[in-house]
Amino acid sequence: MLENNTRDINFRQSGESMYKLAERLFPICRSITGNGVRETLSILQETVPLDVTEIPSGTHVLDWEIPNEWNIRDAWIKTPGGEKIANFRKSNLHVLNYSMPVNQEVDLATLKEHLYSIPEHPEWIPYRTSYYNQQWGFCMPHNQLEKLEEGNYQVKIDSEIKPGALTYGEFIIPGETEEEVLFSCHICHPSLCNDNLSGIVIATELAKFLKNLDLRYSYRFLFIPGTIGSIAWLSKNEEKASRIKHGLVLTLLGDASPFHYKKTRSENTEIDEIMAYLLKDEDEAKLLDFSPYGYDERQFCSPGFNLPVGRISRKPFGEFPEYHTSADNLDFISAEKLGESLQLLVRAVSVIEGNRKWINRKPKGEPQLGKRGLYQAIGGATNQEDFRMALLWVLNFSDGEHSLLDIAKKSKIDFSILKFATDKLVSSGLLTSK
């Protein structure tokens, strides 16, 4: 059923609607708390009916505490000549994320202690945050910073940091079993596209695609602020976390790089095998070893949880200059690449759903396929020779020890053909589930 739907989906068209959603989300000023997150989730709810959870500031979550909530209305610097620069309304990156409010006159030397820029890329605005040390600050192109003249500057940040809540979204698609597949993305970045509007729109589109299918696993989608969000979710959902059998952190999926899959902490879980299988023929795709650094896989893969959660990206984390700058904008991602990334995830779900261990009910000698019409069972779409070999491979290795993916790797026959052969063998009574 999933296979048929998989063939029907038009990934080019999905790519375009994902890109449009990214355009709409782009201007919102998100952070790890605050109204930007709420507004974002409310837009996503137009597509999938996700649940929104609010956790009050001060709540203890694992070794951490939910911080005060940050909101901002406006921010700018007025030069000695009266010009407004670093204007929050033009780009929310201009403000140090989680900046405390300020409204005062400072001289240039003092101002510079609060300015951030990137000398190597003098046209770009950096993205900087200070969640846990109360500071104020502005980010601007290095060229602009260099040209600032002596004199008094008016600085204004109309923000507030006070008790409120941390907000996240969650969407569950119940399946045949309570065993879960997790897709997680972070929603705490302001006007940045690859990191991580790409993850948000792909998770949303994937959820929309899966929500009406009959699925074996239950699927959980998390739209959470990075680090503190996953820590908060894990803290409140230890029992649910233990049901997660496969998971992927989705990030950096809209650019034009080859795929980079980062393995789970154990490096040999089923999702690791599945992603390695799917990427083996992708040009220049790379498998990365686990490291306790990066996105929320750090938390899901902490030793006390040790969940089988990998991370799928295009650009490798932290290894591209546009990372955390204004250059990670709507030009840096494309509908086409978002569509291809979605396609990879749909294929992953297809293998996750289909990968089982079966039992051959006639394991002694080969069963006579001819008398069961199995040599003729095949449709025009499938390669006949591969299908016959698929029957033999599935029968021989369906001993309760080998999964269909194991058989795909041994036989070098495509997983989908093996799945088709498996379905025919189940219908004919030769295979039974383990």
Contact residues for a second copy, defined by CB under 8 A:
62-64, 132, 227, 230-231, 234-235, 238, 265, 289, 291-293, 298-299, 301-306, 360, 362-368, 370, 389, 392-393, 395-399, 410-411
Which of 326, 18, 17, 50 shows the shortest CA–CA distance to 200?
18
Q: How far is the CB of 298 from a second copy (least distance, A)?
A: 6
- Whether residue 183 contacts residue 32, with contact meaning beta carbons closer than 8 Å, is answered with no
- Nearest CB to a second copy, comparing residues 280 and 410: 410
Q: Is 260 annotated as a binding residue?
A: no
**Would you say 331 or 385 has its CB closer to a second copy?**
385
In contact, 344 and 312? CB cutoff 8 Å:
yes
Q: How far is the CB of 67 from a second copy (least distance, A)?
A: 11
Minimum distance, C-beta of residue 369 to a second copy, in the bound complex (Å): 10
Strands 84-85 and 51-56: unpaired
Residue 414 annotated as binding site: no
Q: Which is nearer to a second copy, 348 or 404 (CB)?
A: 404
Q: Is 94 among the annotated ligand-binding positions?
A: no
Q: Across 193-315, where does the E strand assignment appear?
A: 218-224, 244-250, 260-262, 286-288, 309-313
Which DSSP symbol is given to 132? S
- Residue 26 or 64: which CB sits closer to a second copy? 64
Closest approach of a second copy to the CB of residue 82, in Å = 40
Smallest separation, CB 291 to a second copy (Å)? 7
The DSSP H or E segment spanning 300 is helix 297-300
Asked if 165 and 67 touch (Cβ cutoff 8 Å), the reply is no
SS3 308: coil
Quote the CA–CA distance of 72 and 158 in Å, as a whole number.
6
Q: Which of 202, 184, 226, 199 is nearest to 97 (CA)?
A: 226
Cα–Cα distance between 97 and 148 in angstroms, integer? 22
Binding site per annotation, positions for Zn(2+): 189, 195, 324
